[in-house]
């Protein structure tokens, strides 16, 4: 495959030009659909009028973002922020989270700066603002874009009330390696699901109208392919073919931009040797040239400054010039643009037109947001976690919790949902009563004092029928000491839940507690505040500290155990899967964590979520994802349904472990059961020219889904395809449709999935999206293991 580093930029532009001349056949890229507000004549006339009045320094001021609040990375420069605001030197300010601080700087900008250009205030509003919802990975588990839209709406309303008009969200990085701590911010491993969620986030934040007083400017991040950091080590390089980049990693960004996303954040990593923050291919050719994006690209924290460490130039002036010329508009935090761009414009090294273009993009969003007319924020009362907000957080969280396993226990039957038979219940584990941990990573303005833990929620239901034991520390003493040396935001909250463990004693106490009860609920996982999110990479994926020993000791009592996993990344839970009858994946559920988990445990809410990411058997399988490319020697259990291991040695497999996931993508149980009819294709054969002619569906796959159990439930019906004869090999399965279907006991509903160019296309060797004559195998079912099968033939 061509290396992006050597791919001449102009050659690709030429291709686009030729494609445009050729009238854009259906195989060519669809015409870009820019956000109409950013393309509007009125907005652009105002931008041009203002631009004409600006000095070079004022222009460059719009291309700088500074943080008068906390720092979200290293390398922060100390600035005189009042002075900066007064001279128009910080077009964006970030990390302020209340209206009074924001108004302070806005008043200076509007009253003291020469041109009175309002400042755009940005913040990491990742899974709600004041009201903390489950982390984005959990939201993806709902397979319900409407939940992402709702969470974005809550975030937007609350953020705007605090004066924040730009949110650094959604994070749409495809994440296939849970060693990477930022997987929690993503929608997981799949581009189809990721794109659906991305569109919903944008809709929720921007409401298709940035000028609404409760819309915020979304900032899609981290562009691009940040989630593919080699070996899961944060900030590491990514390296992949252009086909994979486009077909897998760029898809959710494209979806977000097509949905009207108003700003984009570049990523820290390099892509095939070119840093993403100085990458003309991704920032200009693809984003602007192909997708028609008209807003600003903001760098990630200090990412322009870090181009020096990336070694793409001898000095700050060179790397900043490369970034700006590549299409990197706003320098966040490094203070390089404000110091090195102007002299290069004056010496003729950088055309002023390049600066102007970047400034236009920033001003466009400020005009579109209505900031010139409404720069200030009315300072309202302090945040209150009202019953309405709590109810929304609880409902959403319950929709994200995945029931992984619910095997019958001798003499008891299925453990879940818990019934009155469980007279005495033990709640055990370091995450049973840790409020800050419930909010999850990147809950910048979430307040642990509002968080409901599992202990609180269970005590409400069970009173003195509940016994509690912490069991062990979340981290071992050694892990704790190591992490204490590292400083980062959220640390204070985390410290409060970092007891110095005396694990042998506390495990013995927990065992005694379990023995007095009918069932033990174990709340285990990893520390969201310490170990997840940015710079939270791990080389192991087990429970931290002594939690595994605790689990084994409690299971050894013979009491039935329900394991509630509170970790927003896939953990290695092989022992638990073999020995614990009931397992619930609860991620980081947010402010209503305890209530939402209890709703599931007691069956008030029937679980409906599905895994947006594969859970591995062993960390050595990572990156593990269901949509693997085929090999010539498929081994046991590959989704290709090739013969199971014939104990042939020379197969693509491990000597010591299966290839398959422990729990696969799309997996999730319910308290009822669903059956599927044989899927039916509306047409067995379709001529290829018909598929290429438009983006309309050419066929549909229909299936009947029945609730065969005795309680109401919702099934996420999933459709997977496999292209069996493509000119470039295609994944063994790809998700191409899903639908949440609510069914009363005994009820049957029919679901139709459309298939057309959008679902069937792939990138050929010329890196063009196309469809060729082939046969698509098609499966419909409740996970990526679906077996009910049909096919669609594409003929000459
Ligand atoms: C993170 C971004 C975040 C930015 C601003 C960086 O460290 O990578 O996701 O938006 O800080 O806070």
pLDDT tier for residue 487 given thresholds of 50, 70 and 90: low
Closest ligand 1 atom to 95 CA: 12
- Atom number of ligand 1 nearest to Cα 332: 5
- Is ligand 1 within 6 A of the CB of residue 182? no
Q: How large is the C-alpha radius of gyration of the chain? A: 26
Predicted local distance difference test score (pLDDT) of residue 730: 97
C-alpha to C-alpha distances, 480 to 474, 477, 569, nearest whole angstrom: 9, 5, 20
Q: Yes or no: say if 657 and 617 are a contact pair by the CB < 8 Å rule.
A: yes
Regarding the beta carbon of 306 and ligand 1, being less than 6 Å apart is answered no
Tokens of residue 359, six digits: 């400034």
401-449 tens-digit pLDDT: 999 999 999 988 999 999 988 899 999 999 999 999 999 999 999 999 9
Q: 20-76 pLDDT, tens per residue?
A: 333 334 445 555 756 999 999 999 999 999 999 999 999 999 999 999 988 888 877
Indicate whether 126 pLDDT > 60.
Answer: yes
Nearest-CA residue for atom 10 of ligand 1: 168
Within 8 A by CB and 6+ apart from 30, the residues are 24, 695
User: Would you place residue 499 in the very low, low, confident or very high pLDDT band (cuts 50, 70, 90)?
Assistant: low
603-606: long-range pairs with CB below 8 Å, 24+: 603/416, 603/417, 603/418, 603/671, 603/711, 605/398, 605/399, 606/670, 606/671, 606/672, 606/711, 606/712, 606/713, 606/714
pLDDT (0 to 100) of residue 644: 47
- What's the gap in Å between 300 CA and the centre of ligand 1? 6
pLDDT surpasses 90 at 713: yes
What is the spatial distance between Cα 88 and Cα 48, in angstroms, rounded to a whole number? 18
Active site residue 300: yes
Instruction: Give me the phi and psi of 685, to 5 degrees please.
Output: -135, 140
pLDDT tier, 13 (very low <50, low <70, confident <90, very high otherwise): very low
Report the C-alpha gap between 349 and 306 in whole angstroms.
Answer: 22
| Residue nearest ligand 1's atom 6 by CA | 301
What sign does the dihedral 423-429-431-433 (CA atoms) show?
A: positive
Question: What mean pLDDT do residues 307-311 have?
Answer: 97
3-state secondary structure of 680: strand
What's the gap in Å between 772 CA and the centre of ligand 1? 41
Structure tokens at 693: 């002619």
Q: Are 532 and 184 in contact (CB under 8 A)?
A: yes
Closest CA to 571 of 600, 534, 613: 613
Best residue among 266, 299, 300, 534 to mutate for probing ligand 1's pocket (most ligand atoms within 8 Å of CB) is: 300
Residue 197 Cα to ligand 1 midpoint, Å, equals 20
pLDDT in tens, 68-119: 988 888 877 778 999 999 999 999 999 999 999 999 999 999 999 999 999 9
Ligand 1 pocket check for 599: Cβ under 6 Å: no
**Residue nearest ligand 1's atom 12 by CA:** 72
Q: What is the 268 CA–ligand 1 centroid distance (Å)? A: 10
Ligand 1 center from residue 441 Cα (angstroms) = 12
Cα–Cα separations (whole angstroms), residue 310 to 249, 266, 304, 483: 22, 15, 10, 27
Residue carrying structure tokens 């110091």 = 339
Contact status, residue 698 vs residue 686, Cβ threshold 8 Å: yes
Cα-Cα-Cα-Cα dihedral of 580, 584, 586, 592, to 10°?
-110
CA distance 278 to 288: 14
Active site residue: 300, 329, 433, 599, which one? Answer: 300
Residue 22 confidence (pLDDT): 35
State how beta strands 734-743 and 748-756 pair: unpaired
- Give the rounded percent of residues in the chain with a pLDDT score beyond 70: 92
290, two tokens:
């192909």
Q: pLDDT tens-digit profile of 161-217?
A: 999 999 999 999 999 999 999 999 999 999 999 999 999 999 999 999 999 999 999
Q: Is the CB of 338 under 6 A from ligand 1?
A: no
Distances from the Cα of 675 to the Cα of 467, 717, 745, 746, 747, angstroms: 39, 11, 12, 10, 11
Counting DSSP H helices and E strands in the chain, the numbers are 26, 29
Q: What is the pTM of this model?
A: 0.94
CB of 168 within 6 A of ligand 1: the answer is yes
Look at residue 412 in the predicted model and tell me its pLDDT. 86
Whether a cis peptide bond, with omega within 30° of 0, leads into 629 is: no
Q: Is the peptide bond before 676 cis (omega within 30 degrees of 0)?
A: no
Span 372-391, pLDDT tens digits = 999 999 999 999 999 999 99
C-beta atoms surrounding 157 within 10 Å: 16
Question: Six-digit token pair at 781?
Answer: 């079912």
Question: What are 530-575's pLDDT values in tens digits?
Answer: 899 999 999 999 999 999 999 999 999 999 999 999 999 999 999 9
Q: Among 621, 623, 715, 630, which residue's Cα sits nearest to residue 668?
A: 715
Task: Answer yes or no: is the C-beta of 72 below 6 A from any ligand 1 atom.
Answer: yes
CA distances from 308 to 90, 303, 316, 336, 631 (A): 22, 9, 7, 11, 40
pLDDT digits (tens, 9 = 90+) for 726-752: 999 999 999 999 999 999 999 999 999
- Sequence-ordered strand ranges (E) for 649-733: 674-676, 680-681, 685-687, 697-707, 713-723
pLDDT of residue 11: 34
Average pLDDT over residues 297-309: 98
Q: Is 53 exposed, middle or buried (0-12, 13-18, 19+ CB in 10 A)?
A: exposed
Mean pLDDT of 689-697: 96
The CB density around residue 550, as the number of other CB atoms within 10 Å, is: 26
CA distances from 663 to 323, 651, 659, 785 (A): 42, 22, 12, 10
Kindly give the distance from the C-alpha atom of residue 421 to the centroid of ligand 1, in angstroms, as a whole number. Answer: 48
- CA–CA separation, 176 vs 178, rounded Å? 7
């Amino acid at each position: 495959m061509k290396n992006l580093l050597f791919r001449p930029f102009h050659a690709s532009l030429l291709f686009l030009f030729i494609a445009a001349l050729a009238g854009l056949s259906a195989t060519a890229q669809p015409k870009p659909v820019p956000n109409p507000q950013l393309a509007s004549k009125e907005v652009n006339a105002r931008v041009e009028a203002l631009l004409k009045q600006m000095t070079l320094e004022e222009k460059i001021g719009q291309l700088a973002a500074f943080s008068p609040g906390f720092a979200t990375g290293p390398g922060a420069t100390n600035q005189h922020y009042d002075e900066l605001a007064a001279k128009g030197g910080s077009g964006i300010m970030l990390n302020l989270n209340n209206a009074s601080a924001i108004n302070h700087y806005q008043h200076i900008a509007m009253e003291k700066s020469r041109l009175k250009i309002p400042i755009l205030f940005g913040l990491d509003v990742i899974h709600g603002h004041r009201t903390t919802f489950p982390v984005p990975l959990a939201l993806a588990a709902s397979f319900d874009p409407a939940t992402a839209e709702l969470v974005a709406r809550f975030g937007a309303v609350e953020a705007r009330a605090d004066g924040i008009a730009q949110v650094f969200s959604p994070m749409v990085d495809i994440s296939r390696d849970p060693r990477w701590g930022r997987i929690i911010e993503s929608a997981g491993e799949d581009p189809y699901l990721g794109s659906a969620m991305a569109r919903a986030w944008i809709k929720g934040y921007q409401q298709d109208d940035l000028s609404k007083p409760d819309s915020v400017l979304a900032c899609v991040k981290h562009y691009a392919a940040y989630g593919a950091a080699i070996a899961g080590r944060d900030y590491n390089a990514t390296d992949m073919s252009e086909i994979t980049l486009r077909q897998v990693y760029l898809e959710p960004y494209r979806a977000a931009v097509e949905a009207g996303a108003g700003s984009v954040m570049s990523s820290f990593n390099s892509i095939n040797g070119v840093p993403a923050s100085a990458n003309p291919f991704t920032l200009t050719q693809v984003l602007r040239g192909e997708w028609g994006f008209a807003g600003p690209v903001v760098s990630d924290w200090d990412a322009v400054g870090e181009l020096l460490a990336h070694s793409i130039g001898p000095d700050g002036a060179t790397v900043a010039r490369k970034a700006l010329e590549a299409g990197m508009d706003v320098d966040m935090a490094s203070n390089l643009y404000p110091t090195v761009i102007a002299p290069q414009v004056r010496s003729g090294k950088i055309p002023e037109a390049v600066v102007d273009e970047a400034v236009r993009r920033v001003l466009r969003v400020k005009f579109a947001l209505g900031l010139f007319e409404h720069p200030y924020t009315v300072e309202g009362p302090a945040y209150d976690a009202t019953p309405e907000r709590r109810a929304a957080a609880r409902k959403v969280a319950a929709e994200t919790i995945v029931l992984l396993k619910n095997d019958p226990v001798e003499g008891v039957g299925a453990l879940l949902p818990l019934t009155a038979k469980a007279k005495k219940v033990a709640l055990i584990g370091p995450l049973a009563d840790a409020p800050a941990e419930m909010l999850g990573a990147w809950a910048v303005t979430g307040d642990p004092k509002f968080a409901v833990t599992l202990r609180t929620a269970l005590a409400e239901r069970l009173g003195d029928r509940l016994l509690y034991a912490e069991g062990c520390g979340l981290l071992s003493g050694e892990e704790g000491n190591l992490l204490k040396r590292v400083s980062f935001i959220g640390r204070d909250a985390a410290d409060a839940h970092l007891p110095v463990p005396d694990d042998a004693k506390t495990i013995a106490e927990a065992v005694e507690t379990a023995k007095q009860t009918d069932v033990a609920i174990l709340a285990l996982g990893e520390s969201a505040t310490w170990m997840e999110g940015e710079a939270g990479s791990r080389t192991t994926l087990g429970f931290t500290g002594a939690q595994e020993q605790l689990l084994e000791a409690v299971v050894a009592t013979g009491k039935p155990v329900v394991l509630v996993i509170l970790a927003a990344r896939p953990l290695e839970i092989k022992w638990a899967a073999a020995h614990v009858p009931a397992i619930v994946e609860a991620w980081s559920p947010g402010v209503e964590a305890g209530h939402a988990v209890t709703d599931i445990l007691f069956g008030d809410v029937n679980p409906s979520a599905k895994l947006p990411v594969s859970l591995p058997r062993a960390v050595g399988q990572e990156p593990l994802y269901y949509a693997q490319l085929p090999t010539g020697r498929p081994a046991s259990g590959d989704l290709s349904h090739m013969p199971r291991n014939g104990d042939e040695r020379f197969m693509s497999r491990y000597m010591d472990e299966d290839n398959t996931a422990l729990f696969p993508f799309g997996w999730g149980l319910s308290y009822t059961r669903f059956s599927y009819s044989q899927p039916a294709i509306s047409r067995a054969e379709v001529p290829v020219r018909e598929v290429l002619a438009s983006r309309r569906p050419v066929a549909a796959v229909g299936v009947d889904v029945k609730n065969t159990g005795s309680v109401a439930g919702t099934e996420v019906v999933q459709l997977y395809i496999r292209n069996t004869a493509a000119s470039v090999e295609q994944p063994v399965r790809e998700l191409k449709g899903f639908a949440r279907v609510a069914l009363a006991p005994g009820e049957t509903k029919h679901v139709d999935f459309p298939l057309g160019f959008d679902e069937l296309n792939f990138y050929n060797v010329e890196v063009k999206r196309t469809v060729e004559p082939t046969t698509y195998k098609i499966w419909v079912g409740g996970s990526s293991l679906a077996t009910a099968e049909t096919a669609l033939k594409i003929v000459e």
